[in-house]
Amino acid sequence: MRKQGFTLLEILIYIGLLALLSAGVIQVVLTLASGAKELRSDRLTAQAAELALETLVREIRQGSEVLVAASVFGSNPGTLVLRTVQSPGSQVQVSRTFFLASSRLQKQDDSGPAEFLTGPEAPISSLIFWHLPGANSDLVTVEITFQDKTFYASAVLRAKY
């Protein structure tokens, strides 16, 4: 004659199986959350790099001259100083400086206040500029590293030719 209910051994086996299953589910959830956080961080880095490089390329193309004596090429942190117009359509010439400060890309016109071009959520670990002068124009290449990802862009000064 069988009694109703479970034996102590059956209860312990069921509790053990439930604990293993719960641990597996928790591990999967934690792995997915970690992966989502990493993807979000990578997306922020890529967006910051894209914005920074687009800004630099646009400014280089609008520039009329690279001020070589005031710039720092081939080393980190690099500095790029361009002779350019104050704003598109303007005739007012300014010296525009791009440099790294507090792990963020900054832009400064003449002796005015510097403004950040990147946010603190994507710190820059390296900023290097290269300059290749030509007969009719100059080429500037930018290497920018956000954490462990490096991005490159090159542009020719259009206002010079």
How distant, in Å, are the alpha carbons of 8, 50, 117, 144 from that of 122? Answer: 56, 12, 11, 12
pLDDT at 97: 92
pLDDT at 161: 52
User: Looking at the DSSP assignment, which residues form a beta bridge with residue 3?
Assistant: none
Burial of 160 (0-12, 13-18, 19+ CB in 10 A): middle
Provide the residue type at 87 as one letter: S
Coil/strand/helix, residue 100: strand
Chain mean position to CA 76: 16
DSSP string, 30-53: HHHHHHHHHHHHHHHHHHHHHHHH
Q: Enumerate the domain spans of the chain.
A: 38-160
pLDDT at 20: 92
User: Looking at the DSSP assignment, which residues form a beta bridge with residue 138?
Assistant: 133
The pLDDT tens digits along the chain (161 residues) read: 567 777 888 889 999 999 999 999 999 888 888 788 888 877 888 888 888 899 899 989 888 889 999 999 999 899 999 988 777 777 788 899 999 988 899 999 887 888 988 888 888 989 999 999 888 888 999 999 988 888 999 999 886 55
Element (H, E) at 60: helix 8-62
Compute the 3-state secondary structure of the chain and give helix, strand, coil in percent, each to the nearest 5: 40, 35, 30
